[in-house]
């Protein structure tokens, strides 16, 4: 080879390598429209993206950017959130309504710029207004950058399982009614896997989701919990799985015969199809920690079928997983959750903050707000509520981000406290009445750029309804450094923190009558929502906002807003389309009994 051709060849190689490392830009159009769906022997119209439930899959490589133009052809305002995508410096496209934007009104469109950075694995997108996320959601698949690989051998195939909640009837209408009267929110009528209830539910056997596998192959299974109000157990008969990723980060492999997955969470599992040729149920069902005096929970077994390809005589009935835990098996759940660890390797290092500058303790409670003459439909004639550090969050009518960016006053107050007002035995059985009524407000926590933050979430037994709370943070992932039962002891418990290989996640289960401690570095300036991912708790005020200030340079500051943001206007009063199915009214009366 002559020198010239050698140089030319080198130049080409350089361009090639540069291309490989370069991040791509993708464009998607999402059309939101009402469509009729029939499940559980009953038809209803609901809002979906591009006529499909679940909606379209977004596929990217690590570090890519996606522009999603969302066209609202429905009849009410909607926003979309890119769950677990950190969106560096770009809260404008994060999505939670009245936090970072106002709803995209019917007949209008809004383009989200979704910026991927460190995420790799599986995340998802969902509506972040009212309860619309029950029908408006879909998967986000993030492959490694081209030229790099996953920390496990390349699987032979992939499958996505989106676990969701199905409601007979118009769920937004039912919830608005309950919020007005102060009643508890409706329970789902069944869980679904990829939109289907499966063989054990009425009128569902013909549409059960089927996944065909080849004997001997290993598959990557991406599981997303898109259910509205439930932690779920998920298992596949006879097939152990290996958990290799959670929330768009890798974890040390965990071999188990089931998983527990909280709403908002995503998990990547490896499954080897090496059992006898046949059919096996994949089952999702509730893991319930809320033994409250409200009605029961949704006890349905949602199923899909793993089916081996080939010519064989299958048993008439697929095998049901013998290993899926019972509905209230806390031991099984916490044992599994406690096994999650980061890879913490040379290739996938951890970076746990060690020099904490802000420490917080946030209590998580169920509450009520008193109603005159016990006129509400919640607990003892009161209105059901919930809180963080006894503050029940109230959504403003102009989004917090706009108010912060434009310095508008009267929208929020920057005084969310580092400690609850009063300390009491948070997990005691008989708490005094004065712990039950929260204060209401739009209080946000202000943080300086690059602060190293430690937050302990402390569950409480207020109202005698302690339960798990899957706390989710926007704009960040964080390390879960500790967790335990009872009251957090700030002298002894930190001694057991895992600062070596704690899991890095965007949501964490605060155990019933227990606590969890997380750490993160506040290096993403913006306005970021923090909330329980049980939708009803979110509605009742179990949330707050964190504002991370700019760092003083353009590269450490919030980006300027896009030229168009949906305007903030009071929502018009809703006229639901004429109902052609009354069955949910019967159901709802039953719920209130």
The residues that touch Cu ion, with contacts defined as CB under 5 A, are 469, 532, 534, 537
The yes or no reply on residue 434 touching ligand NAG (CB under 6 A) is yes
The yes or no reply on residue 574 touching ligand NAG (CB under 6 A) is yes
Q: Which does 523 bind (CB under 5 to 8 A by kind): ligand NAG, Cu ion, none?
A: none
| Cα–Cα separations (whole angstroms), residue 366 to 290, 295, 375, 416, 459 | 11, 16, 19, 18, 10
- What tokens does 350 get? 């951890």
- What tokens does 531 get? 């909330």
**According to CB under 6 A, which one of 42, 100, 266, 301 is a site residue for ligand NAG?**
301
Q: Which is nearer to ligand NAG, 389 or 506 (CB)?
A: 389
Q: Which does 534 bind (CB under 5 to 8 A by kind): Cu ion, ligand NAG, none?
A: Cu ion
Q: How far is the CB of 413 from Cu ion (least distance, A)?
A: 23
Q: Quote the DSSP letter at residue 572.
A: P
Q: Which does 454 bind (CB under 5 to 8 A by kind): ligand NAG, Cu ion, none?
A: none
The span from the CA of 70 to the CA of 49, in Å, is 9
* 530 closest CA partner among 444, 447, 419, 453: 444
CA dihedral for 528, 534, 538, 541, sign (positive or negative) = negative
The span from the CA of 229 to the CA of 226, in Å, is 9
Q: Which does 580 bind (CB under 5 to 8 A by kind): ligand NAG, Cu ion, none?
A: ligand NAG
Per-residue mark of binding to ligand NAG, 161-190 (x: CB under 6 A): -----------x---x--------------
Which residues have a Cβ under 8 Å from the Cβ of 443 and sit 6 or more positions away? 391, 393, 412, 413, 414, 415, 416, 417, 544
The yes or no reply on residue 216 touching ligand NAG (CB under 6 A) is no
Q: Which does 428 bind (CB under 5 to 8 A by kind): Cu ion, ligand NAG, none?
A: ligand NAG
Q: How far is the CB of 582 from Cu ion (least distance, A)?
A: 31
The yes or no reply on residue 130 touching ligand NAG (CB under 6 A) is yes
Q: Which is nearer to Cu ion, 98 or 534 (CB)?
A: 534
The yes or no reply on residue 196 touching ligand NAG (CB under 6 A) is no
Per-residue mark of binding to ligand NAG, 349-368 (x: CB under 6 A): ------x-x-x---------
Preceding peptide of 398 cis, ω within 30°: no
> DSSP string spanning 422-433?
S---TT-SS--G
Q: Which residues pair with 388 in a beta bridge?
A: 364, 391
| Helix, strand, coil percent content, the chain, rounded in steps of 5 | 15, 35, 50
Q: Which residues bind ligand NAG (CB under 6 A)?
A: 28-29, 31, 34-36, 45, 50, 56, 71, 76, 108-109, 130, 172, 176, 200, 240, 255-257, 272, 274, 299-301, 311, 355, 357, 359, 422-425, 427-429, 432, 434-435, 490, 564, 571, 574, 580
């Amino acid at each position: 080879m002559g020198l010239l051709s050698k140089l030319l060849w080198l130049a080409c190689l350089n361009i090639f390598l540069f291309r490989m490392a370069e991040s791509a830009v993708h464009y998607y159009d999402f059309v939101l429209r009402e469509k009729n769906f029939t499940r559980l022997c009953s038809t209803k119209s609901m809002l979906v993206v591009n006529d499909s439930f679940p909606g379209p899959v977004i596929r990217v490589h690590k570090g890519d950017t996606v522009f999603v133009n969302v066209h609202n052809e429905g009849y009410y305002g909607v926003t979309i959130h890119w769950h677990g995508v950190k969106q560096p410096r770009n809260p404008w496209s994060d999505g939670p309504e009245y936090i970072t934007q106002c709803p995209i009104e019917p007949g209008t469109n809004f383009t989200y710029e979704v910026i991927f950075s460190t995420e790799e694995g599986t995340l998802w997108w969902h509506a972040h207004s009212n309860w619309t996320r029950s029908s408006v959601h879909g998967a986000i698949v993030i492959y490694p950058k081209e030229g790099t690989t996953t920390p496990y051998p390349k699987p032979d195939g992939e499958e996505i399982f989106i676990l969701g909640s199905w409601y007979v009837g118009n769920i937004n209408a039912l919830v608005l009614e309950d919020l007005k009267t102060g009643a508890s929110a409706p329970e789902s009528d069944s869980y679904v896997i990829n939109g289907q209830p499966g063989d054990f539910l009425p009128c569902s056997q013909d549409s059960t989701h089927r996944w065909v596998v080849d004997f001997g192959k290993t598959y990557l299974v991406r599981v997303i919990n898109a259910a509205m109000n439930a932690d779920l157990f998920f298992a596949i008969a006879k097939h152990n799985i290996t958990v290799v990723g959670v929330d768009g980060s890798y974890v040390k492999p965990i071999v188990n015969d089931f998983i527990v997955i909280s709403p908002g969470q995503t998990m990547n599992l490896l499954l080897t199809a090496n059992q006898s040729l046949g059919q096996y149920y994949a089952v999702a069902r509730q893991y319930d920690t809320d033994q409250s005096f409200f009605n029961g929970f949704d006890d349905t077994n949602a199923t899909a079928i793993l089916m081996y390809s080939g010519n064989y005589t299958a048993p008439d009935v697929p095998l049901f997983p013998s290993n899926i835990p019972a509905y209230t098996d806390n031991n099984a759940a916490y044992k599994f959750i406690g096994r999650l660890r980061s890879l913490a390797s040379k290739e996938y290092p951890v970076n746990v903050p060690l020099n904490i500058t802000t420490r917080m303790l946030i209590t998580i409670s169920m509450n009520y707000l008193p109603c005159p003459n016990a006129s509400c439909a919640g607990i003892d004639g009161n209105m059901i509520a919930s809180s963080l550090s006894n503050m029940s969050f109230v959504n403003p009518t102009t989004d917090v981000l706009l108010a912060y960016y434009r310095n508008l006053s009267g929208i929020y107050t920057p005084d969310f406290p580092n400690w609850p007002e009063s300390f009491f035995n948070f997990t005691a059985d008989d708490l005094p009445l004065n712990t039950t009524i929260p204060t209401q407000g739009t209080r946000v926590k202000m943080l300086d750029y690059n602060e190293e933050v430690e937050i302990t979430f402390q569950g409480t037994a207020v109202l005698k309804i302690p339960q798990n709370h899957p706390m989710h943070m926007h704009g960040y992932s964080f390390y879960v450094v500790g967790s335990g039962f009872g009251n957090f002891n700030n002298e002894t418990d930190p001694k057991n923190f895992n600062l070596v290989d704690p899991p890095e996640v965007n949501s964490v289960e605060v155990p019933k009558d227990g606590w969890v401690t997380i750490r993160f570095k506040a290096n993403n300036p913006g306005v970021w929502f923090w909330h329980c991912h049980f939708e009803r708790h979110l509605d009742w005020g179990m949330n707050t906002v964190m504002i991370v200030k700019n760092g003083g340079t353009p590269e450490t500051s919030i980006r300027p807003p896009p030229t168009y943001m949906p305007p903030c206007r009071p929502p018009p009063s809703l006229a639901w389309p004429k109902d052609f199915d009354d069955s949910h009214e019967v159901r709802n009366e039953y719920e209130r009994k």
